Amino acid sequence: MQDLSVTILQQDLAWQDAPANRAQFACLLPAAAGSALVVLLPEMFATGFTMEPAGCAEGMDGPTVGWLREQAALHGCAIAGSLAIAEGGAFRNRFLFARPDAGLEHYDKRHLFRMAGEHHGYVPGSERRVIEWQGWRLCPQVCYDLRFPVWSRNRGDYDALLYVANWPARRREHWRALLVARAIENQAWVIGVNRTGVDGEGIEYAGDSLVIDPWGRLALDAGSAAGVHRVTLAAQTLAQCREKFPAHLDADAFRLDGAPD
């Protein structure tokens, strides 16, 4: 298992304007990709956190999914983020992981943010996913999922948690604390990618994209400004944490029953 080079694109987003957001990220990707094996974009990176999916959501054969695949192939790395997706007569907040070989994997956000009415406009996912990439097992999650540790509990099946988010500045302390908690309790690398700026609903975002190592130590703090940030997830740090402090061997057994309401 080799180290994993990751680039985070912490940016402001044009409100409900997918062409503008694709253009913005396309300009950043040539320099951002570089030697990166994974490039991560925020939640709903094409539109912002919209509760109007009927006017903004795209199909899996839509322009933004096609763009993701094209950019991954062009730059020779995986590119991931979430989109509002229309499928089967419903809308989903879907994390997409585009591989450079045109492969595409996805995870549908399970915990929908009821305080914004997300549960009225979108359908929740029911299946946790683990994506294997470059010898790493990556568990994708989306924003509000961060508050539910049972859903993200490491069962020995992943090495890193990937959170993409539109997490408001007024709850930034929760974001930062919970990311550290998820890393410590799961003995895994944790990456949280957030946006900056103010969205079309007047909600402010502070960035605060973070990378936390399995010991709970801060490996990257992107601050509040828009930017491109690179970090390397060290395989040795992961192995040493699990070997020297094998708390996972004393974890309680459990299972998840049923699908979300």
The catalytic residue positions are 43, 109, 143
The residue among 260, 26, 36, 47 whose CA lies nearest residue 166 is 47
What are the structure tokens assigned to 103, written together? Answer: 């492969």
Whether the Cβ atoms of residue 209 and residue 8 lie closer than 8 Å to each other: yes
Residues 151, 145 contacting (CB under 8 angstroms): yes
List CB contacts of 257: < 8 A, sequence separation 6 or more. Answer: none
Q: From 122, 65, 53, select the one nearest 92 (Cα to Cα).
A: 122
Look up residue 185 and give its amino acid: E
Residue 139 CA: distances (Å) to CA of 32, 147, 150, 160, 240: 22, 15, 13, 6, 20
Burial (0-12, 13-18, 19+ Cβ within 10 Å), 173? exposed
- Residue 195 in 3-state DSSP? coil
Candidates 88, 80, 78; CA nearest to 64 is: 80
Angle at 116 between CA 94 and CA 87, to 5 degrees: 30
